[in-house]
Amino acid sequence: MSFTLMLLYYWAANRKHFYWCTKSKNQKNVGGSVMNIFSLFSNQDINKGVDKFRNTSGSVLLDVRTKDEHNQGHIEGSINIPLDRLEIVQDTIKNKETPLFVYCHSGARSGQAVDYLKRVGYTNVENIGGYMNYKEKVVR
């Protein structure tokens, strides 16, 4: 996939929170929720993220894909709260210090979910990337 197509896809998936990472002279972020353009190229390894989830006591593996996507296959132990219904997370996971490991299909929606979860007060949230790169056994 060309860089331009990747950038367009990323922009479309994250259009509510897409900003070029700019700094003012005093090095404060400009524009509120700033998403660094270089985060597009960060190499999240969902397999390492799932291992970290399994080795973190009291953690939650959160799948923010649609219900249909989740039913087609998901990582064992994950709970499904689709991105468009993420506001219910506060009813499901009441302790905002709970370690949350978030995934979706490619990593874009989980990035949006992590931004939202941090805004509503969750303090230990990690985007572990995309299910499409998961190499272990899945639940169907």
Q: Vertex 50, ends 45 and 52: CA angle to 5°?
A: 95
How distant is the alpha carbon of residue 41 from its chain centre? 14
Return the closest-CA partner of residue 13 out of 32, 39, 50, 49. 39
H/E segment holding residue 60: strand 60-63
The catalytic residue positions are: 104
SS3 61: strand
H/E segment holding residue 129: strand 125-130
The pairing of beta strand 78-80 with beta strand 125-130: unpaired
